[in-house]
């Protein structure tokens, strides 16, 4: 019953969580709609079509402007065990013929082509006889005549929507202002297009991270400071979820537990109260949250280190959907780091997946321990540039120090 795209994400690519925007783009494609995805470089655009390609089966055609980019992608996919091919001018005739044989035999899942090669009469006729289920156009801004990267070969891609009328098309780019976006959409899509533009910043969420000292007390102090507002408290285990909810209730907080080990009717009842009553604190494992759209969640409190920076971003994003100032507060300690390492070691995946999972955990720990602006660190992980935000513990500490320094100067001057 598991979501097939999540299965592929995990089994093939070794990731536990989607990056922002990825799941939305995939769902749209899997639902037969076209997608225009605008996300910063490094945000993870490739997965937006690579995962659906594997969920859909058949053949996915990927258009990419540079031979070097195609080679890299194909090599990376093959390393992950995915049947990917490219036919391009840098390969000798034999290699191209061999690649085409695999494609024609239905063995290839993703075929990378330059636009001018795709749009030849022969290639189009050959593809028309195959089971093409998805078309991805990378660096799609190259189609816009107004853009600095215009490539005449891209213009011809506008014919794809008539040539493959029932195949969903995804166009991806990191650089598209409104005008360019409209231009891309007008050229590639007639209708059914979903545009996903992602800047990742959620400036109304204040970010605070601290070492766990006396965890429950830190939590209680925080929750009491939020008196009467709705919030989500994430715990690592079911047991800790129950204990923490009971602890808060003992101290007069309207807290309710939520985890997958509870009877469904209890879980649903608690969720309904959280959704409909004011000021309920949901103490939950990560089982809670998917598809919850409550606009006035005032905070998300992590009593333990989350699973990854992707998971952290997703989880804190449940606060402040109404745009009001809200807080994301995280505690972490050596115990959770050790536990996370054990999780990774205990998983039934390849050594390469494990190595990368440890690397992502190190990045998360680095985020916890940085003295830099947290938002800057988080956004830069997703490929987005930002200046210091003024709304995280590190920025606020610095401001406090700066005030202190000004005060000291005044005192010394007097
Ligand atoms: P873009 O095309 O947007 O510049 P890429 O598709 O090349 O970005 O991905 C950038 C990096 O992000 C890659 O190293 C990729 O493995 C990583 N990445 C993508 N999605 C995820 C995810 N869900 N979890 C962890 N890492 C991811
Ligand atoms: Mg890319
Ligand atoms: Zn900051």
Segment 197-214, tens digit of pLDDT: 777 788 999 999 999 998
Q: Which of 208, 207, 203, 204 is nearest to 387 (CA)?
A: 203
- pLDDT number for residue 218: 96
Ligand 1, from 36, 41, 47: best to mutate by most atoms within 8 Å of Cβ? 47
* Closest Cα to atom 5 of ligand 1: 44
Going from the C-alpha of 11 to that of each of 7, 188, 294, the distances in angstroms are 6, 32, 32
pLDDT higher at 99 or 179: 99
* Closest Cα to atom 24 of ligand 1: 15
Q: What percentage of the chain exceeds 90 in pLDDT?
A: 71
| Whether the predicted pLDDT of 368 surpasses 70 | yes
Determine whether the shortest distance from the Cβ of 15 to ligand 1 is under 6 A. yes
Q: Which whole number is the average pLDDT over 177-184? A: 81
- pLDDT number for residue 191: 65
Ligand sitting nearest the alpha carbon of 43: 1
Q: Which whole number is the average pLDDT over 26-46? A: 90
pTM: 0.76
pLDDT higher at 180 or 128: 128
Beta-sheet pairing, 281-284 with 231-234: parallel
Find the helix or strand (DSSP H, E) in which 105 lies: none
Q: Any idea which residue has 């210091």 for tokens? A: 388
- Dist. CA 168 → ligand 1 center (Å): 22
74-86 pLDDT, tens digit each: 999 999 999 999 9
What is the sign, positive or negative, of the torsion defined by CA atoms of 268, 271, 275, 280?
Answer: positive
- pLDDT number for residue 151: 87
Q: Any idea which residue has 């907080």 for tokens? A: 253
- Dist. CA 346 → ligand 3 center (Å): 35
- pLDDT number for residue 290: 72
pLDDT higher at 282 or 180: 282
Q: Residue 163: count other Cβ atoms within 10 Å of its Cβ.
A: 16
d(CA 195, CA 38): 8
Q: Which whole number is the average pLDDT over 373-401? A: 90
Q: How confident is the model at residue 323 (pLDDT cuts 50, 70, 90)?
A: confident
Q: Which whole number is the average pLDDT over 216-234? A: 95
Q: Any idea which residue has 């680095």 for tokens? A: 366
Q: Kindly give the number of the ligand 1 atom that is closest to the alpha carbon of 46.
A: 6
Ligand sitting nearest the alpha carbon of 379: 3
- pLDDT number for residue 92: 93
What's the mean pLDDT when you consider all of the chain? 91
Q: Which whole number is the average pLDDT over 176-190? A: 83
| Whether the predicted pLDDT of 58 surpasses 90 | yes
Q: Kindly give the number of the ligand 1 atom that is closest to the alpha carbon of 174.
A: 3
Strands laid side by side in the 326-332 sheet: 205-211, 326-332, 299-302, 231-234, 281-284, 255-258
Q: Kindly give the number of the ligand 1 atom that is closest to the alpha carbon of 15.
A: 24
- Dist. CA 190 → ligand 2 center (Å): 24
Going from the C-alpha of 63 to that of each of 143, 153, 154, 260, the distances in angstroms are 12, 11, 9, 42
pLDDT higher at 181 or 300: 300
Q: Kindly give the number of the ligand 1 atom that is closest to the alpha carbon of 41.
A: 4
Q: Which whole number is the average pLDDT over 162-182? A: 86
Contacts of 168 (CB under 8 A, 6+ apart): 28, 29, 32, 33, 34, 35, 134, 135
Find the helix or strand (DSSP H, E) in which 128 lies: helix 121-128
pLDDT higher at 384 or 140: 140
109-145 pLDDT, tens digit each: 999 999 999 999 999 999 999 999 999 999 998 998 7
- pLDDT number for residue 402: 75
| Whether the predicted pLDDT of 98 surpasses 80 | yes
Q: Which whole number is the average pLDDT over 389-393? A: 96
Question: What is the greatest pairwise CA distance in the chain?
Answer: 86
- pLDDT number for residue 192: 65
| Whether the predicted pLDDT of 87 surpasses 70 | yes
What is the token pair recorded at 371?
A: 């003295």
Q: Which whole number is the average pLDDT over 331-340? A: 94
- pLDDT number for residue 414: 58
């Amino acid at each position: 019953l598991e979501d097939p795209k999540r299965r592929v994400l995990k089994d093939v690519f070794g990731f536990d969580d989607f990056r922002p925007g990825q799941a939305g783009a995939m769902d749209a494609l899997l639902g037969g709609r076209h997608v225009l995805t605008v996300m910063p470089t490094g945000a993870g655009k490739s997965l937006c079509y690579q995962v659906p390609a594997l969920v859909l089966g058949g053949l996915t055609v990927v258009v990419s402007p540079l031979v070097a980019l195609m080679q890299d992608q194909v090599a990376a996919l093959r390393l992950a065990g995915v049947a990917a091919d490219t036919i391009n001018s840098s390969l000798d005739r034999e290699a191209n013929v061999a690649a085409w044989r695999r494609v024609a035999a239905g063995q290839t899942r993703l075929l990378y082509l330059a636009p001018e090669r795709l749009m030849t009469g022969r290639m189009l006729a050959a593809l028309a006889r195959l089971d093409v289920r998805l078309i991805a156009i990378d660096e799609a801004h190259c189609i816009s005549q107004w853009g600095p990267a215009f490539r005449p070969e891209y213009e011809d891609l506008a014919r794809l929507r008539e040539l493959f009328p029932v195949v969903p098309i995804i166009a991806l780019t990191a650089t598209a202002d409104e005008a360019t976006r409209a231009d891309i959409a007008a050229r590639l899509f007639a209708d059914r297009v979903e545009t996903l533009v992602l800047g990742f910043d959620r400036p109304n969420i204040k970010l605070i991270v601290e070492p766990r000292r006396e965890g429950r007390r830190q939590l209680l102090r925080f929750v009491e400071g939020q008196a009467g507002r709705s919030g989500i408290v994430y715990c690592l285990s079911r047991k800790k979820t129950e204990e923490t909810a009971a602890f808060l209730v003992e101290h007069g907080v309207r807290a309710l537990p939520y985890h997958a080990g509870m009877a469904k009717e209890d879980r649903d009842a608690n969720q309904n109260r959280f959704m409909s009553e004011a000021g309920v604190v949901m103490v939950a494992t990560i089982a809670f949250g998917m598809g919850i759209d409550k606009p006035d969640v005032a905070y998300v409190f992590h009593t333990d280190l989350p699973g990854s920076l992707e998971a952290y971003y997703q989880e804190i994003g449940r606060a402040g959907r109404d745009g009001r100032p809200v807080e994301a507060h995280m505690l972490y300690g050596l115990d959770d780091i050790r536990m996370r390492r054990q999780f990774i070691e205990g998983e039934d995946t390849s050594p390469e997946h494990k190595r990368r999972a440890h690397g992502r955990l190190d990045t998360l720990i680095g985020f916890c321990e940085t003295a830099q602006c947290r938002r800057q660190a988080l956004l830069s992980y997703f490929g987005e540039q930002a200046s210091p935000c003024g709304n995280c513990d590190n920025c606020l500490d610095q401001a406090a120090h700066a005030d202190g320094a000004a005060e000291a100067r005044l005192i010394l001057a007097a």
